[in-house]
Amino acid sequence: LGNNADSVIFVNPLQGLWPVERYLSLLTGELPRLRDDSDGYGPRGRDFIVHVDFPAEVIQAWQTLKHDAVLIEAMESRSLR
């Protein structure tokens, strides 16, 4: 990955790949959807899926991403939320 003037890009793009923004959007949106709370899709939320247990490492990685200044800026500037 690399940065150009107004977005994140693949340095060596391959035909058929989604834009980087699409991957970031999917990545940052999946964990909240899988959570079993009032906002998630689990039984305590929308009840679309069964309860999912997350390993501590996954929760820690999510917290790291959630608080990463570069990712936050990219999401806000590119309307990925």
Which residue carries 């107004």 as its tokens?
A: 6
Please list the pLDDT of the chain residue by residue as tens digits (81 residues): 788 877 777 777 777 678 777 787 787 888 889 989 999 999 999 999 999 999 999 889 888 988 888 877 777 776 554
Instruction: Quickly list DSSP for 31-50.
Output: HHHHSSSTTSSSTTTT-SS-
Is the residue at 50 inside a domain?
Answer: yes
Is the residue at 29 inside a domain?
Answer: yes
Is the residue at 12 inside a domain?
Answer: no
State the total domains in the chain: 1
Is the residue at 8 inside a domain?
Answer: no
pTM, 2 dp: 0.59
Range of the domain at 71: 18-77
Report DSSP state, residue 52.
Answer: -
What CATH number is given to the structural domain containing 39? 1.10.3620.10
